[in-house]
Structure 1
Amino acid sequence: MDQRAAPVLCAIDDCIEKFTADRKQTISPFIERHFSVSETIQIQKRHLPLDLILSPVNALWSIPYLMIKKAVETSDKIGWPVLNPLMDVLPASFKTGYQKDIEKLIATELVSEDVLMDYIRKDPVLGPMVVSGAIELDQRKIRTEVLKEIEKYTSSQAMISDVCSSLLTLAAGWIYFGDKSLGVMGLGSRFARKMAREKASSNFFLGEKVGSVFYGVFPPAPTNTQIVMATLAVGALLTVCSLFVSVMIDPARKRFGMHDKKLHSLVDNLEERLFIALKKDLKSHLRQPAPMKQAG
């Protein structure tokens, strides 16, 4: 089995190296095509309704997720790894339409498994073996490995946007109320109380200035309607700001070379992942006895 496997594994390694080298040549053109301001806006426009909902949800989720992740990592370091599977279940964020489009573009234009299969079919060792059926390559398994690495890449990129959105929310609470711990609900409640106080002060029988002092000591309680409306208004405003951040962040990463570095890392990681997966697959296949040739 080892004698049969050695040249095949060397050929697989060679094909994957050619594939990754070829794909690295396409990274710069890919970034130029898809991470400009105009292209980012065009992609975002196609998914605006869905992303208007998911953007604040992800912003709210990003900080609790990071806290959970840190707790799980700490638990693992002290010798209690029972919580580790939790990170396989919890999503880092909920995919926006923009994120899904970027994943699709990377999968089809940058690291398509079809390109790797072309190298394999053209290889002098592997090509004839694939055609004759002497070895079988599971293209679905290759695609699974590609998609796993792409999802890892886009999740880390999306996390940056979500954290920025969360920081924007916290900054708004600090600027307006001097409180660095307010979320969307907290901001909505504070704004509702402020509006209730201003409305009551303007209707005070001794005048607005005296009313402002009086209701500063005895603040009126806002109605549930005021709280809901204020929270919705705050959420809508922060969502618009979050979308603006998400539109601008990819061109900013492009400007500072962050996309180039991350996509090169994606291809490097994929090279290792593909070799391990295909090596395991081929060794399993080659353990099977070679088919007996029938006498002609």
Structure 2
Amino acid sequence: MQREATQPSRPEDYFAEARARVEGHVTSTFSLAGTARLHRRALGLDILCAPLNVVLAPLHALLRLSAFLLRMVRLRHASGFLGRVHLILPTRTARAVEEGLLEHVFALRPDGSGRSIADRFAEALPLQGGASFSEDETRRRAERAAATIKIYTGTRSAVAEMTTALLTICFGAWLFHRLTPGMLSLAPALADTYVMDTAIGNFPLGRGLGGLWYGAFPVGASPLTIVTVALMLIVTASIVTAFAGILADPVQTRLGVHQARLRRLVTAVERDMTGSDTAPFVAREHLYARVFDIADIAGGLFRQFR
């Protein structure tokens, strides 16, 4: 959807129309058919970016938490600087989500000349009759709005991580009857199962007697085997994460999560562009995803010391 020739005369009208477009955008983009089309772009380089994003995600969440704490103690400049640092690597899927958001919700013209998001917002702001800022102030506000958009698109990687963690928990509960919120929890169990099955299969008197023998005298995986299995699981989980939105998007749409998050985004961009309140868009999903990491590490340490 391209920007119409007649623009809303006031900023509040422009952003009210943006909110009104949220429902249609979510329905077309994040339905089962829409997200399947979207994730076709994940075939290729996105699969290579996924493992790196999994590694960078905890650091990204730490930066966001640090920015929030700095803001709480009124160190706004330091908070703003950390808030603009974006460690999540861009993917083709994320770019498609971003472009669809700018075009269909904010009604910005499609980018065909390599212009940045800030350039496109800076173009839109003077068109709003109620806004009268200097060129430098317009640019500063546009850059702030662009940073907010980047934060929003980064939430998809966090949701994908949580989806993969939930699948890991289901797999561990089904196969091992234990809580496995991550690869540190799943790898030892899977490695022990592999070593045990191999030992039973190689027992000289057959698998039947081998099962009885190793049932009484179980064998465990070596540290090297556990590390090897963990690395294989991490690579597999990264690939799953690249496509996890196919499952997560329709569920979030059904529950209204996508709609609520996008409306919060529009409100944050409105503040960035026209208001005096500079409270940033809060991406809670990165912090939620870290809960699974903490549970995974805690579980691994507990089993190790036990």
2:263 is matched with which residue? 264
Q: Which runs of 5+ in 2 are unaligned?
A: 1-8, 109-118, 277-306
CA shift for structure 1 position 71: 8.9
Give the number of the structure whose alpha-carbon radius of gyration is greater. Answer: 1
Decide whether the 8 Å contact of 1:15 with 1:120 is kept in 2.
Answer: no
Cα 1:68–1:142 change in 2 (3 A) is closer
* Distance (whole Å) between structure 2 residues aligned to residue 198 and residue 125 of structure 1: 70
1:273 is matched with which residue? 272
* Distance (whole Å) between structure 2 residues aligned to residue 97 and residue 257 of structure 1: 25
The DSSP-based 3-state class of the residue aligned with 1:180 is coil
Deviations 1:96-117 (A, max 9, x none): 4322221122123322375884
1:141 is matched with which residue? 140
Cα 1:96–1:65 change in 2 (3 A) is same
Between Structure 1 and Structure 2, which shows a larger proportion of helix residues?
Answer: 1
* Distance (whole Å) between structure 1 residues aligned to residue 67 and residue 144 of structure 2: 25
Decide whether the 8 Å contact of 2:160 with 2:242 is kept in 1.
Answer: no
1:212 is matched with which residue? 211
**Which one of the candidate residues 45, 58, 66 is aligned to 1:50?**
45
**Is 2:107 the partner of 1:108?**
no
2:280 is matched with which residue? none
Decide whether the 8 Å contact of 1:20 with 1:267 is kept in 2.
Answer: yes
Letter in 1 for 2:250: P
CA RMSD, Structure 1 to Structure 2 (Å):
4.4
* Distance (whole Å) between structure 2 residues aligned to residue 122 and residue 76 of structure 1: 30
Cα 1:54–1:212 change in 2 (3 A) is farther
1:37 is matched with which residue? 32
CA shift for structure 1 position 59: 5.2
Matched residue count: 255
* Distance (whole Å) between structure 2 residues aligned to residue 87 and residue 118 of structure 1: 26
Cα 1:205–1:89 change in 2 (3 A) is farther
Q: Which runs of 5+ in 1 are unaligned?
A: 1-13, 278-296
Letter in 1 for 2:260: K
**Is 2:101 the partner of 1:99?**
no
TM superposition score normalised by structure 1: 0.64
Decide whether the 8 Å contact of 1:173 with 1:183 is kept in 2.
Answer: no
Decide whether the 8 Å contact of 2:64 with 2:83 is kept in 1.
Answer: no
**Is 2:199 the partner of 1:200?**
yes
Decide whether the 8 Å contact of 2:71 with 2:79 is kept in 1.
Answer: yes
* Distance (whole Å) between structure 2 residues aligned to residue 156 and residue 167 of structure 1: 17
TM superposition score normalised by structure 2: 0.63
